[in-house]
Structure 1
Amino acid sequence: MKHGVKLIVMGILSLFGSKASASVEADFWKWFQKNEDMIFNFERDTENTFDKLSAALSKVDPELTFEFSPIRENGKREFVISAGGIKNSFSSVELLFNSAPEMKKWIIIKFRPRRSPLNDLNFGGVSIKSEDVYYNLYKDEDKLGIVLFFDNYNEKEHTTYGNLGYLFLDEALGEYDVETKLGFVEFHNKTSEYFDGAKPIKNLSKQVDEYYGN
């Protein structure tokens, strides 16, 4: 009898646990729709809007971040839900994306997508053109390891170039493929002994897709 009661209680907890989990995503989208005008026209008060949106997303998962597109010709904006490159938060992105309601003004995208052409980037006071970034690929068990080469890379600014490197990889491959298809990632100056045979980063997506057969 006690065993039966235990099973019933566990079942009830399971049901309430799933509802609680689902409500986190539902609550976000309710907040999003309630504040749709503010979010869609974020340029009116960018800092305040982004702070509020970040706070709302953090209730779903503290690692989640976002990107917006300009308003397209069809009058819509893209709203990109990103895990910030944190693989453990990919499931949070999937859950939030799958629970998104239909909205006339929005195209919801999960994970930072590939960009074509690649954008030039600026981070930490360092500006780099995409055409100046090169790479070499190496076998890394069942994945591909990559070395990115920059003109002015140096160890003192490793963190800055590292952030730029991952942003360029997201631009070239998309956030999901960076985390699931790449193994080791290193950053070198173009004076590196490994630079021989390096290719411009615009070629990276084609080479990775050919390797994985998609």
Structure 2
Amino acid sequence: MVITPDGNPKGILPTEKLYTSKPELENWIIEKFRQPKDKFSDFEYDGLKFPSSDIEILANYNHESNKMDIKVFVRNMKLDEEKYKTIAWIYLDNILGEFNSIKKIRFVDFFHLNEGETAKNSISILELRNQMDKDIYNIK
């Protein structure tokens, strides 16, 4: 079972309190926040099949806040900006993990990326998670 604030920053503290007070139940695994996934396969959202490779990231670690500032480039976003931003957030939440996407990203800006183009020096969302582990959590 996963105790989640469903992406709402105001739900972090209640999630922590509920998790801390959870009972020990035999044969149950109880986690707080949706956990990061190494593999989150391409999925379909509202009739749109969208691979994670259509999202490119430029990231900058902010030492003062101990958080990341990211620019998210989404291929063909102009076709339906809100739908594509939602898909990008779903990927961020699943690959980075819910806690990281809520608490460890300071700033996000979205940009359209044309078919066949790439953002210079961009990384994948999984590479972003690895960079966050290194910069924020000091994991080598």
Which TM-score applies when normalising by structure 2? 0.82
Structure 2: where are the runs of 5+ without partners?
none
1:201 aligns with 2:87: no
What amino acid maps onto 1:80 in structure 2?
V
CA distance in 1, matches of 2:75, 2:48: 12
Higher relative contact order (CA 8 A, sep 6+): 2
Shift of 1:127: 2.1
CA distance in 2, matches of 1:96, 1:121: 31
Aligned to 1:144: 68
Aligned to 2:54: 132
CA distance in 1, matches of 2:133, 2:44: 27
Match of 1:175 among 72, 77, 98: 98
Match of 1:161 among 58, 78, 84: 84
Structure 1 moving runs of 4+ over 3 Å: none
What amino acid maps onto 1:176 in structure 2?
F
Aligned to 1:88: 10
Instruction: Flag the 1:152–1:196 CA change in 2: closer, same or farther, 3 A.
Output: same
Shift of 1:115: 0.3
Shift of 1:186: 2.0
Identify the structure with the greater helix proportion. Answer: 1
What amino acid maps onto 1:170 in structure 2?
D
- RMSD of Structure 2 on Structure 1 (CA): 2.2
Shift of 1:181: 1.4
Contact 2:3 2:33 in 1 (8 A): yes
**1:82-135: CA deviation from partner (whole Å, max 9, x where unpaired):** 111111111111122122222233211100110011232332222211233221
**Overall identity of the aligned pairs, in %:** 28
What amino acid maps onto 1:200 in structure 2?
S
Contact 2:56 2:124 in 1 (8 A): yes
CA distance in 1, matches of 2:43, 2:71: 18
Identify the structure with the greater strand proportion. Answer: 2
Other structure's SS at 2:10 match = helix
